Chains A and B, each alone.
Chain A
Amino acid sequence: MSKKMKYLLLLPLTAIVSCGYSSYYLVEGNKYTSAKFSENYYTHWDNELKSAHKKDVIDITNEALITGINYSYFGDNTITGLGEIDPNYFEADPGLEEFASDFKMNSVDDSFNYGYQSKLFDGQMVCGGQNGRPEYAYQLGRVQINRNGFSIRFSKESTDLHYFALNLKASTDNTKKCYPVDGTSLATSDSQLFHNSKINLTITLYNKTLNGIEGYPFALDVEFDNKHTNDGHYYTFIAFDLEDYELSRLVGVSLEFTVLEDALISYNEGKTYIEGGETKNVDITMDDYALFLYELFFPYTSWN
């Protein structure tokens, strides 16, 4: 066999033995779409990001967090109508959808369209039965995470980095029996359950350097005031400036959080209820505290 033929044969052989890069994006059956709340946590961690060296935590609660956020902050003065602004967050309104459509990651490159994490890059800022497909009412928008956090390894690498933005809400497993805050009987509807809570959110951005991948953890306290779990309107939007940091070659991001306080869970601690003549403990705990993430942005960032 000539050398040329051997090389030619190598091509399909390489393909045959390759494990398949897209298989990374495959999700088994009903994973993340289960009716059982606890089965829908996205907890994927990229090995390289998990073992990456991390710098000291940068607290941005009172410093870099964009307060009084408006689009002009992102360099566009023409878009307005963001609604009432809170010091650290604001509630979503139609203006956010416009923002999403301008800055969604999947419009940057098709590679952001693949995988379960693509829910964070598709410009879908809220949940709801959009496009006449009610079966996606809640699954379409959100990525549900718990305190173990998760990471995303990008298939692209940024060449510069300007801002970070994230839309999220707090949540708990509403199928579990519990009392509404100050209530004396078990909650009978979702509207009775809302969160007055505070979390410490750590967003780690992974930068590629000559020494390998380095993590830059940004930590901030986020408060949720009277936020309903099961409602299409209460979202928290966080954004901060990255230009003061030595970050340019972004290759991934991870999110973790600790729950500092939650009125609903605290109120239910040690409480009991009677069912069928039997006294049972309320089963809601801090382990049932979840974040619903809707969209993640790096506005004005260039990717190679």
Chain B
Amino acid sequence: MNKLKLLGKYSAAITFLAFEFFALIAFNYSGSFVLFGSLSLALCLLLVLFNIAEIKTKGLSSVALFFIPLFLFVLLTAVGNYNTVHTKVFGHFSWAETVFIPLGLLAMAFNGYLLSIDKNFKLKTFITVIFSALAIYVLINFIYNLISFGAFYPIIYKGYYLYYSGIKSELPVNEFAYVLEGFKFVEVKMAHYVLFPLLLLSSSVMLLFTSPKKEKGYFITYSVFTLLALFALAFIPSLLSLGGIIATALLVLVIYLGKTYVKTRKVLKIILFILLVLALLGYLFYVIAVATGMSNSFTSILDRIFNSNRYARRINPILINLFSSSKFLGFYGNQVAPSVIDEVSLSGFFIFDSFMTSGVIGTFAIFAFIFLGFKSFKKYFYSHKDEFRLQATMLLFLIVFVGYSAFFNEGEYTLYYNVYKPLYLTSPFILMIFMLSYVICKSRVVIEEPKEEIVNE
């Protein structure tokens, strides 16, 4: 038996290890990119080492082109000033961030490829693992919030403030919640708290395609996930959680209708296409109008939309002067340093913040990668390589994450500590990179049937 075969013996154990790594990431352990990135890299190295014989036979080249946008994104993000000045993943060693962050993200993308060709990797286990870990995280946060302020506290204590270290909280208690970061619960903006139960809620689509009689245990598990997510959102109510529940429920309905009724699928496709085109045009118009200064001449309602509202006041400083040579690539310079008066903070909208953290090219590169990933779902669905309900759950997880983060990603989410954590350093983003990469590869890489090997005894 050659050495490669010997290594292959351990590949099943490595796949199991992969599930454990994914559990830690989905649990948002410590909220630490250093950990997530390290796990991604370690997993990547182990998978390469123990699957090297497999890799040789699978066509990596057929999917390599799809990863160019991601490569461009991580490269521009890593060298961008926001990353080197602000993120401080490694304290003051900015060179480490420049090297480690792209490596961690690319390693996770490569893991997507490696596990898509790994015969031991079961998507069903993966989905259950990440949602279980996410459920534990949501449960811990949920219970801590209830113990801290009681159920429905955003309504009961609306307009109340917390004092910490003698300083009044920047936001009233109805706009923040506690989440676990490392071994400490910290006060975070509500948008950050809502993200995790909302992601967990995306597992509810599984219930529609699972028989409660045939797979009782599986059905109960996902019912618990769904209920937990709903409780975590409903007992700590906010407009975001209400909107999130409604939007997720609609998406579940769309997926169900799309799967069940072929005719509906066609109508849905047209509606979706029109909505996407409108959203894209609106978005591009907003960016161009603000970046070119055109919006300054707007009056009445247009002025209100483009300039005179609290969201625009956060977004526009990022877009203004966007097309000057250095900022175009994400070099926002010292403007992001907290000591400077004309500080530019993250706006909370990933679709705009990304211009600051990754530059225009980087932003459109990640958009392109996400688009390619979503587009691959069509091929992935028809490939029948995985069960539909698993594919649908993954799709909904991705839609919820991308849709929510586009508008409600608080990179500076803590109330009392300076945390600069743009979207690309968060655990769901890393999971997104893996899932998109997995889908792209799974739908395209042709897996050759293993040939019988004649072993001479």
Contact = CB atoms under 8 A, between A and B. Distances in A.
Interface string B127-163: 0000000000001001100111111010001011111
A75 interface: no
Interface in B312-353: none
Given A26-B157, A140-B166, A21 B173 contact: no
B165 A26 contact: no
- Of all A-B residue pairs in the complex, the 3 with the closest CB atoms, nearest first, are A20-B150, A15-B146, A119-B166
B147 A15 contact: yes
B157 A136 contact: no
A140 B150 contact: no
B146 A18 contact: yes
B340 to A, nearest CB: 11
Interface stretch (A54-62, A108-116, A181-189): A108-116
A12 B143 contact: yes
Interface of A: 11-12, 15-23, 25-29, 33, 106, 113-116, 118-122, 124, 136, 139-141
Contacts of A16: 146, 151, 235
B5 to A, nearest CB: 46
A21 B147 CA distance: 7
Given A19-B150, A20-B149, A118 B163 contact: yes
B231 interface: yes
B137 to A, nearest CB: 15
Nearest to A26: B160
Nearest to B139: A12
Interface residues of B, number: 25
Nearest to A143: B166
Interface of B: 139, 142-143, 146-151, 153, 157, 159-168, 172-173, 231, 235
A33 B162 contact: no
B143 A27 contact: no
Given A26-B161, A26-B173, A118 B147 contact: no
Nearest to B416: A113
A17 B139 CA distance: 16
Contacts of A11: 143
Contacts of B173: 26
Contacts of B149: 20, 22-23, 26
A27 B161 contact: yes
B217 to A, nearest CB: 14
Contacts of A20: 146-150, 153
Given A27-B160, A118-B165, 7 more contacts: A15-B143, A16-B235, A20-B146, A29-B159, A29-B161, A114-B163, A116-B163
18 contacts: A12-B146, A15-B143, A16-B151, A18-B146, A22-B162, A26-B173, A27-B168, A29-B172, A113-B164, A113-B165, A114-B163, A114-B164, A115-B163, A118-B163, A118-B166, A119-B166, A122-B165, A140-B167
Contacts of A115: 163
The residue in B159, B164, B235 that gathers the most chain A C-beta atoms within 10 A of its C-beta is B164
Q: By CB atoms of chain B within 10 A, which of A17, A20, A118, A121 has the most?
A: A20
A120 B166 CA distance: 7
Contacts of A113: 164-165
Nearest to A18: B147
B121 to A, nearest CB: 31
A243 B146 CA distance: 41
Contacts of B157: 23, 26
Contacts of B235: 16
A272 B174 CA distance: 48
A20 B161 CA distance: 15
A151 B163 CA distance: 17
Contacts of A27: 160-163, 168
Contacts of A17: 151
Contact of B167 (A23, A26, A136): A136
Q: Max chain B CB contacts within 10 Å: which of A12, A120, A124?
A: A12
A118 B157 CA distance: 20
Contacts of A116: 163
B151 to A, nearest CB: 5
A18 to B, nearest CB: 6
B151 A25 contact: no
A6 to B, nearest CB: 15
Nearest to B235: A16
Contacts of B165: 106, 113, 118, 121-122
User: Which of A18, A115, A120 gathers most chain B CB within 10 Å?
Assistant: A18
Contacts of A23: 148-150, 153, 157
A168 B143 CA distance: 40
A19 B150 CA distance: 5
A167 to B, nearest CB: 13
A93 B166 CA distance: 21
B160 A29 contact: yes
A137 B161 CA distance: 19
B143 A118 contact: no
A93 B167 CA distance: 23
Contacts of B147: 15, 18, 20-21
A41 B379 CA distance: 68
Among B162, B165, B173, B231, max chain A CB count under 10 A is at: B165
